[in-house]
Structure 1
């Protein structure tokens, strides 16, 4: 049996981690990004711009068994989100059509921002997705584009991704970040390696003929109150002084469930923020 081929459109941090895992499993991996020199060794580079309607010159000629759309917005406003998630996906679907390529499945990487719950509710894939802001609304539009593309599709709604190079919270805690404790402000997160691992699990499952659902939430096992995370990091880092006033950058409070993903056989390497942040601080990931 020939190696399955996958095109990762928007092969940045998480996409590159996914590429590395798939290469180790024997896949042929094509990675689309502007600067292909930054792709992991072994990935076949597709130098292109998702924001440009012109098909990349190095677009793969043969079969594309799987497509992973894993873009990131460069401008964090509504126009920037629309360009990255709606228009970029439209471009990739057009390029596939130009070459007569019909993947077995499309994975579209979305966000838990599509959920507008704010009172600490538990959220799963069946929960109402009524986005509170433009980012969630645009994501929902892009999700529908993927689901109606004519390609079997699964949406992967990732929660707050953290990992090496994604250390905003660590920086803030070192600076004395203080957050509200009552009512608790629940946050959800997933280590970048686990986000990639979930997508690899979905691709391998589809390859084996497992019937996939339309939507999966990518989150670790233990959504936690932000104050608990900050308190643990303070102790770990030895921070003894912090601001007099609360400072919260984000809105919303919900707890996302990973039960559907785990039922498929996926298990996060970093089940909570404790294991994940410890690995970062100890240089193990």
Structure 2
């Protein structure tokens, strides 16, 4: 069987993990587009380019069967988000159209910041989205561009991603910075390996001609309060936390349901924060 070509545009932490999972399946040629190709995993075909400059998208293969747009912003300003999630995506879509490519499907790594709910409510793929912050509004606009592209598209709204190199909460705990128990602030997260795992799973479904929706929530099975997560990490690291003098990290305070991706048969590597962080802490030793 001829291998399928998959282009990962913005092959950073999540993209590289996805590339490793896909190359292990032995049925894909994976092409990774990024500025620094030296950081690409072995067996990935390098494309040196810059997503944010339309004329510098590098040399692509003649055929592309699937595209994964997994760019990350270089900063937290509105201009940075505009560049990473709208301009960069549009550059890729334009190149696909102008090059007369016909990918089976494009996957876009979006964010749960698209939701506006902030009182601990449960949300899913059918919930209203009226974000008040620019990051959520920009992600929604990127999703709209994807859905109006001349190719099938799927956006996956990921929660807070953690994993190797993404240890913000661990670093906070090591400094002894807890947070108040009340008011409870719910957060949603997902291990980097499951971010890639969900995308790989959906690609396989598309290959098998199984239904793939245009939107999924990419979060683990256990929304939890930030207080509970920090306290658990403190116990694992034998660190006593100051829960009085540090505010809760800024989060949306909502609970995201992953039922839609579960119903496709996806099995999480790390279904909750305890299993995911335990693995991270073990590999840290």
TM-score range, shorter chain: over 0.9
Are residues 1:3 and 2:3 paired? yes
Matching residue of 2:75: 75
How big is the shift at 1:148?
0.5
C-alpha contact 2:231 2:241 (8 A) present in aligned 1: no
Matching residue of 1:87: 87
How big is the shift at 1:188?
0.2
Determine the C-alpha separation between the residues in 1 that align with 2:244 and 2:183.
18
Matching residue of 1:28: 29
3-state SS, counterpart of residue 110 of structure 2: strand
Determine the C-alpha separation between the residues in 1 that align with 2:79 and 2:39.
27
**Where do 1:201-240 residues align within 5 Å?**
201-240=201-240
Determine the C-alpha separation between the residues in 2 that align with 1:91 and 1:166.
28
**Where do 1:47-196 residues align within 5 Å?**
47-60=48-61, 62-196=62-196
Matching residue of 2:269: 269
Determine the C-alpha separation between the residues in 1 that align with 2:142 and 2:19.
23
Gap runs ≥5 in structure 1: none
3-state SS, counterpart of residue 73 of structure 1: coil
For the aligned residue pairs, the C-alpha RMSD in angstroms reads 1.4
Determine the C-alpha separation between the residues in 1 that align with 2:122 and 2:8.
31
Q: Give the length in aligned residue pairs.
A: 284
Determine the C-alpha separation between the residues in 2 that align with 1:147 and 1:252.
25
Matching residue of 2:281: 281
How big is the shift at 1:284?
7.8
C-alpha contact 1:55 1:95 (8 A) present in aligned 2: no
For residues 148-169 of structure 1, give each alpha carbon's deviation from its aligned partner in whole angstroms, at most 9, with x where no partner exists. 0010011110000000110011
3-state SS, counterpart of residue 87 of structure 2: helix
Gap runs ≥5 in structure 2: none
Determine the C-alpha separation between the residues in 2 that align with 1:117 and 1:196.
26
Q: Structure 1's 135 and 36: CA in aligned 2 closer, same or farther, altered over 3 A?
A: same
**Segment drifting more, 92-101 vs 224-233:** 92-101
Determine the C-alpha separation between the residues in 2 that align with 1:275 and 1:105.
32
3-state SS, counterpart of residue 265 of structure 1: coil
**Segment drifting more, 243-252 vs 182-191:** 243-252
3-state SS, counterpart of residue 108 of structure 2: strand
How big is the shift at 1:241?
4.6
C-alpha contact 2:123 2:257 (8 A) present in aligned 1: yes
The two structures have a TM-score, normalised by structure 1, of 0.97
How big is the shift at 1:248?
2.2
Determine the C-alpha separation between the residues in 2 that align with 1:120 and 1:254.
4
Determine the C-alpha separation between the residues in 2 that align with 1:251 and 1:162.
15
Q: Structure 1's 132 and 50: CA in aligned 2 closer, same or farther, altered over 3 A?
A: same
How big is the shift at 1:246?
3.3
Q: Structure 1's 57 and 251: CA in aligned 2 closer, same or farther, altered over 3 A?
A: closer
C-alpha contact 2:173 2:241 (8 A) present in aligned 1: no
Determine the C-alpha separation between the residues in 2 that align with 1:118 and 1:241.
26
How big is the shift at 1:250?
0.4
C-alpha contact 1:175 1:242 (8 A) present in aligned 2: no
Determine the C-alpha separation between the residues in 1 that align with 2:98 and 2:45.
20
For residues 223-250 of structure 1, give each alpha carbon's deviation from its aligned partner in whole angstroms, at most 9, with x where no partner exists. 1011111111111110125254232230
